[in-house]
């Protein structure tokens, strides 16, 4: 696929309308956009009714709503990218819809259909088109939420549900080096728990170890499994891969690991590159002699790990040019932004 010349790109850009944002300064924080999508579950009909696009803004919740009192909620994260010709691509939105359905089942919530989910995402992006960064200068992060919004004081599933989608332009999730500290006291997930879905309650419990690790100069924590305390699981918001020889391994998504869509895409790309990809238990000792380690996630994309510290022992890894992580990152973002041919049919033009 050919790329547009600088002059063609500049001409396309002139024709497109953009919000007044300093795209090169974007990190991963909220920039309020114009619109959001809201859809409520209709109890009588037993399904989500027609949603609407409304102005982005605060929402009203009953103080006794399920989301506020018992954390009955899920979120998703996906991105829209601007192509060189100003077109917009979504990356594997049906995968997020399916993951939300799976999570909703675990959390006793009704879920939008895949079609309703994708339609809501498309409408949100198109309504906020001017906030999709120019090609190569960030992406529009889309955050679908599914929440128990009906009142219920007792411990039981909510009586009403709301599906809401908002979006924000973002840049890099983590701008510096990725230096991980292995957390061996606090666990992110337990067998039979909710670590394998995107429950809103999976995230704030990591704040304490994460804050403590950051205070010591680390950028993230790496959690160990709760059952044995000997296998690596994932970071606070990303999956992990280790490379040794021709084998790339990642912890098996068997209930305590988030089945990341970037994780899945990277496994498919790496296997296409000729690597043997293994999903399995990875003892912490294996990180000491790994050739490369990298993290993946929608927000993080693919990022090399510079070091891992476990009980005071620091191991350093190759980062930057000539790493597999770099090659995978270039291939994935090339597909996501329409610069590389999408042979696997992952992108959706809107």
- In whole angstroms, the minimum distance from the beta carbon of 262 to ligand COI comes to 7
Per-residue b or e along 95-132, where b marks 16 or more CB atoms closer than 10 Å to that residue's CB: bbbbbbbbbbeebebbbbebebbbbbbbbbbebbbebb
Quick one: which of 103, 196, 297, 338 contacts ligand COI (CB under 6 A)? 297
Mention every residue, 6+ apart, whose C-beta is less than 8 A from residue 300: 173, 174, 237, 238, 262
Using the rule CB under 6 A, is 33 a contact of ligand COI? no
Spatial distance between the Cα atoms of 43 and 40, rounded to a whole number of angstroms: 9
Spatial distance between the Cα atoms of 42 and 149, rounded to a whole number of angstroms: 12
The Cβ-side half-sphere exposure at 82, using a 13 Å CA radius, reads: 26
Using the rule CB under 6 A, is 253 a contact of ligand COI? no
- In whole angstroms, the minimum distance from the beta carbon of 342 to ligand COI comes to 21
Measured from the CB atom, is 12 or 100 closer to ligand COI?
100
Going 146 to 120 to 76 to 28, the CA torsion angle's sign is negative
Binders of ligand COI among residues 219 to 238 (CB under 6 A) are 237
- Catalytic pick among 83, 101, 198, 318: 198
What is the DSSP-derived secondary structure letter of residue 108?
Answer: T
Q: DSSP 3-state helix, strand, coil percentages of the chain (rounded to 5)?
A: 25, 30, 45
Which span (102-110, 131-139, 147-155, 295-303) binds ligand COI, by CB under 6 A? Answer: 295-303
Measured from the CB atom, is 72 or 174 closer to ligand COI?
174
Measured from the CB atom, is 112 or 297 closer to ligand COI?
297
Q: Where are the alpha helices (DSSP H) in the chain?
A: 6-15, 66-70, 93-106, 114-127, 207-215, 261-272, 324-336
- In whole angstroms, the minimum distance from the beta carbon of 141 to ligand COI comes to 8
Q: Is 198 a catalytic residue?
A: yes
- In whole angstroms, the minimum distance from the beta carbon of 105 to ligand COI comes to 19
Binders of ligand COI among residues 132 to 191 (CB under 6 A) are none
Which span (110-118, 221-229, 292-300, 323-331) binds ligand COI, by CB under 6 A? Answer: 292-300
| 242 contacts 287 by C-beta, under 8 angstroms | yes
Quick one: which of 53, 281, 299, 350 contacts ligand COI (CB under 6 A)? 299
Using the rule CB under 6 A, is 298 a contact of ligand COI? yes
Measured from the CB atom, is 12 or 261 closer to ligand COI?
261
Mention every residue, 6+ apart, whose C-beta is less than 8 A from residue 193: 255, 256
Which span (55-63, 208-216, 271-279, 293-301) binds ligand COI, by CB under 6 A? Answer: 293-301
Mask 202-221, x = binds ligand COI (CB under 6 A)? -x------------------
Task: Tell me which long-range contacts 186-191 makes (C-beta under 8 A, separation of at least 24).
Answer: 186/223, 187/223, 187/224, 187/225, 187/226, 188/223, 188/233, 188/234, 188/236, 188/256, 189/223, 189/226, 189/233, 189/255, 189/256, 189/257, 190/226, 190/227, 190/256, 191/226, 191/227, 191/255, 191/256
Measured from the CB atom, is 103 or 150 closer to ligand COI?
103
Measured from the CB atom, is 152 or 239 closer to ligand COI?
239
Measured from the CB atom, is 202 or 323 closer to ligand COI?
202
- In whole angstroms, the minimum distance from the beta carbon of 180 to ligand COI comes to 16
Question: Residues with catalytic annotation?
Answer: 198
Binding site residues, ligand COI, CB under 6 A? 77, 203, 237, 297-300
């Amino acid at each position: 696929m050919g790329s547009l010349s600088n002059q063609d790109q500049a001409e396309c850009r002139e024709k497109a309308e953009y919000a007044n944002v300093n795209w090169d300064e974007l990190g991963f924080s909220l920039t309020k956009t114009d619109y959001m999508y809201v859809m409520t579950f209709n109890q009588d009909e037993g399904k989500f009714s027609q949603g609407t696009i409304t102005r982005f803004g605060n929402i009203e919740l009953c103080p006794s709503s399920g989301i506020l009192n018992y954390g009955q909620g899920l979120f998703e994260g996906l991105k829209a990218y601007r192509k060189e010709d100003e077109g917009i691509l979504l990356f594997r939105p049906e995968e997020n819809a399916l993951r939300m359905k799976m999570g909703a089942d675990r959390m006793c919530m009704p879920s939008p259909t895949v079609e309703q989910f994708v339609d809501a995402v498309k409408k949100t992006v198109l309504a906020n088109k001017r906030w999709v960064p120019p090609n190569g200068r960030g992406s529009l992060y889309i955050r679908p939420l599914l929440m128990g919004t009906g009142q219920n004081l007792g411990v039981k599933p909510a009586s009403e549900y709301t599906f809401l989608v908002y979006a924000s332009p973002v840049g890099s999730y983590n701008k510096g080096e990725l230096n991980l500290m292995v957390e061996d006291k606090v666990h992110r997930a337990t067998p039979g728990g909710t670590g394998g879905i995107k429950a809103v309650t999976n995230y704030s419990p990591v704040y304490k170890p994460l804050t403590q690790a950051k205070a010591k100069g680390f950028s993230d924590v790496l959690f160990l499994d709760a059952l044995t305390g000997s296998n690596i699981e994932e970071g606070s918001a990303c999956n992990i891969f280790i490379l040794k020889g021709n084998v790339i391994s990642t912890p098996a998504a068997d209930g305590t690991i988030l089945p990341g869509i970037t994780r899945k895409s990277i496994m498919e790309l790496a296997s296409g590159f000729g690597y043997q990809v293994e999903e399995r238990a990875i003892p912490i000792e294996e990180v000491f002699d790994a050739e490369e380690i990298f993290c993946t996630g929608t927000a993080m994309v693919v990022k090399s790990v510079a070091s891992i510290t476990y009980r005071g022992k620091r191991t350093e890894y190759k980062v930057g040019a000539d790493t597999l992580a770099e090659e995978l990152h270039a291939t994935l973002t090339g597909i996501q932004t329409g610069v590389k041919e999408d042979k696997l049919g992952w992108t959706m033009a809107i």
